[in-house]
Amino acid sequence: MQQFQHYIGGAFLDGSAQFESRDPATGHVWAMMPEARGDDVNAAVDAAQAAFVSPDWAGMTASARGKLLYRLADLISEHAPALAALETRDTGKIIRETSAQIAYVADYYRYYAGLADKIEGAHLPIDKPDMEVWLRREPIGVVAAIVPWNSQLFLSAVKIGPALAAGCTVVLKASEEAPAPLLEFARIFDQAGFPPGVLNVITGFGAECGAVLTSHPKVDHIAFTGGPETARRIVRNSAENLATTSLELGGKSPFIVFEDADIESAVNAQVSGIFAATGQSCVAGSRLIISNKIKAAFLARLKEKAEAVIIGAPDDMATEVGPLCTLGQLETAVDLVAKSKAAGATVITGGQKLDRDGSYFPPTIIDCSQAPNAPCLTHEFFGPVLSVLGFDTEKQALHLANDTAFGLASGVFTKDLTRAHRMIRGIRAGIVWVNTYRAVSPIAPFGGHGLSGHGREGGMQAALDYTKTKAVWLRT
């Protein structure tokens, strides 16, 4: 049985306790994970705080920090196959997705490596002839980075990259559901040559590890990705240390298709928009809002494609949809579909768990046109389940798109440019993809509105968010 360790102050350490990790494809325990309790969390934060003020890190030039990040990116590329395989093993995310994602994880680190020496202050043209005033941009301090189990190498890269580029230090808390990839990532990070304590990687349960970390007096900023309920707890915890927060939360993203859209391209985008990562993706286009003029034909083509998706073992390159990460999520999917049917929704395909070991749930499409309050339309949950609503007018499409407390991503499919612009203006979400879906780049900011959180990851703004300004007044 494999054993994993924490990474604290540059050393690999056992936790105060241990817990089991299960293989989602078989349901069997495959590894033992270290569990961080209060003392482990305190040690990790102390190490990050000591590193933050150490001459080795605080005295390092920005370009030297950038060079270390470039080295880290190269090491990730070198170890990409092993990291991808480990993520697949622990989360059940299919190997073709983990392999593709690890390539752009390295690209995010390269982007922030290049930004390290481009985070500039400012000179202020103040109205006093004998005074020079300027703004220094300084690192915000010790960052608590907390991530969920899905896409964790990516979701931690968008925090660690800008934080280290800005000169912060980090305690990264991996999700208890599947911490192996990040605990292994720590071993790769260790080879890059950063001073000890600049990054610390721990895992444990929210109630103790997460709570101690987010209320810790030495934590200055909390960068969180996860669900809204956890975000509320974290914000309450941060009342203790008054740390700033950035919150990347869930979504219930609308995927809007007008009658003039390129149907084949919209169908393909919808298939990957909802079924990629077995639906376990915060930007999943989980609400199809479709013109009634093409609804029947579109759904027929979508059903055909959904039923042709190859379901299989996550480590098989041919697999397109693998198991859900946990049995709990499988139960949630089964329950929400059953409740939606009871509320009057019609299952077009899928809807029942597969008769095999592991937490497999098939691509599912549910028409909710007669059940506008069906729970699958209103609840954010991680599963390959697409809810469908029809519309007659553009106004109605926009109303349905915004009829959610979330506001993370959205997709609009139309050939009418003026209509596309009206929709871009009207949609309440942090991302609008027009005639495409799921496009990402390190340059483009990513984040949401409403219950989807606040703050942005990616792009220059994210690096600035890991800094605070100091106003300097100098009498000449």
**Catalytic residue positions, numbered:** 248
Is residue 430 within 8 A of residue 444, CB to CB? The reply is: no
- Could you tell me which residues are beta bridge partners of residue 440? none
Which residue, judged by CB position, is nearest to ligand NAD in the bound state?
Answer: 206
- Residue pair 162/127 in contact (Cβ under 8 Å)? The answer is no
Q: Does 176 bind ligand NAD (CB under 6 A)?
A: yes
Residue 158 Cβ, how far from ligand NAD at the closest point, in Å?
Answer: 8
Smallest gap from Cβ 438 to ligand NAD, in A, equals 13
Closest separation in Å from C-beta 452 to ligand NAD: 6
Q: Between 31 and 234, whose beta carbon lies closer to ligand NAD?
A: 234
Please check whether residue 144 is in contact with residue 159, taking contact to mean a CB–CB distance below 8 angstroms: no
- Which residues in 243-262 contact ligand NAD (CB under 6 A)? 248-251
Question: Structure tokens of 28?
Answer: 């069997």
- Which lies closer to ligand NAD via its Cβ, residue 68 or residue 209? 209
**Quick one: which of 173, 216, 287, 295 contacts ligand NAD (CB under 6 A)?**
173
150 binds ligand NAD (CB under 6 A): yes
Q: Which span (96-104, 183-191, 225-233, 395-403) binds ligand NAD, by CB under 6 A?
A: 225-233
CB of 408 to ligand NAD, least distance (A): 6
Interface map 3-32 toward ligand NAD (x if CB under 6 A): ------------------------------
Shortest spacing between CB 231 and ligand NAD, in angstroms: 7
One character per residue 72-111, x = contact with ligand NAD (rule: CB under 6 A): ----------------------------------------
Q: Which residue, 233 or 438, has its beta carbon nearer to ligand NAD?
A: 233
Nearer to ligand NAD, 110 or 252 (CB): 252
Q: Which two tokens stand for residue 19?
A: 């817990």
CB 368 within 8 Å of CB 386: no
**In this chain, which stretch among 66-74, 170-178, 292-300, 396-404 interacts with ligand NAD, using CB under 6 A?**
170-178
Does 383 sit near ligand NAD (CB under 6 A)?
no
Residue number with CB closer to ligand NAD (47 or 409): 409
CB of 178 to ligand NAD, least distance (A): 9
Nearest approach in angstroms of CB 84 to ligand NAD is: 18
Of 44, 468, 430, the residue nearest 248 (C-alpha): 430
Nearer Cβ to ligand NAD (266/377):
377
Instruction: Rule CB under 6 A: say whether 372 interacts with ligand NAD.
Output: no
Show the 3-state SS of the chain.
Answer: CEECCEEECCEEECCCEEEEEECCCCCCEEEEEEECCHHHHHHHHHHHHHHHHCHHHHCCCHHHHHHHHHHHHHHHHHCHHHHHHHHHHHHCCCHHHHHHHHHHHHHHHHHHHHHHHHCCCEEECCCCCCEEEEEEEEECCEEEEECCCCCHHHHHHHHHHHHHHHCCEEEEEECCCCCHHHHHHHHHHHCCCCCCCCEEEEECCHHHHHHHHHCCCCCCEEEEECCHHHHHHHHHHHHHHCCEEEEECCCCCEEEECCCCCHHHHHHHHHHHHHHHHHCCCCCCCEEEEECCCHHHHHHHHHHHHHHCCECCCCCCCCCECCCCCHHHHHHHHHHHHHHHHCCCEEEECCCCCCCCCCCCCCEEEECCCCCCCHHHHCCCCCCEEEEEEECCHHHHHHHHCCCCCCCCCEEECCCHHHHHHHHHHCCCCCCEECCCCCCCCCCCECCCHHHEECCECHHHHHHHCEEEEEEEEEC
Rg of the chain, C-alpha, whole Å: 23
> Site for ligand NAD (CB under 6 A): which residue of 169, 230, 270, 340?
230
C-beta closer to ligand NAD: residue 152 or 364: 152
Interface of this chain with ligand NAD, residues 257 to 296, rule: CB under 6 A: 282
Taking the CA atoms of 438, 283, 429 and 446 in sequence, report the sign of the dihedral they define.
negative
226 makes contact with ligand NAD (CB under 6 A): yes
**Min dist. Cβ of residue 211 to ligand NAD (A):** 5
> Is 206 near ligand NAD (CB under 6 A)?
yes
Using CB under 6 A as the binding rule, whether residue 234 contacts ligand NAD is answered as yes
Q: Per CB under 6 A, does 37 bind ligand NAD?
A: no
Number of residues located near ligand NAD, criterion CB under 6 A = 28
Judged by beta carbon, residue 225 or residue 270, the one nearer ligand NAD is 225
Q: Which is nearer to ligand NAD, 252 or 295 (CB)?
A: 252
- Does position 233 interact with ligand NAD (CB under 6 A)? The reply is yes
* 404-433 positions binding ligand NAD, by CB under 6 A: 408
Should residue 454 be labelled a site residue for ligand NAD when binding is judged by CB under 6 A? no
Calpha distance 131→121 (Å, rounded)? 17
The binding site for ligand NAD (CB under 6 A) comprises 146-150, 155, 173, 175-177, 206, 210-211, 214, 225-227, 230, 233-234, 248-251, 282, 380, 382, 408
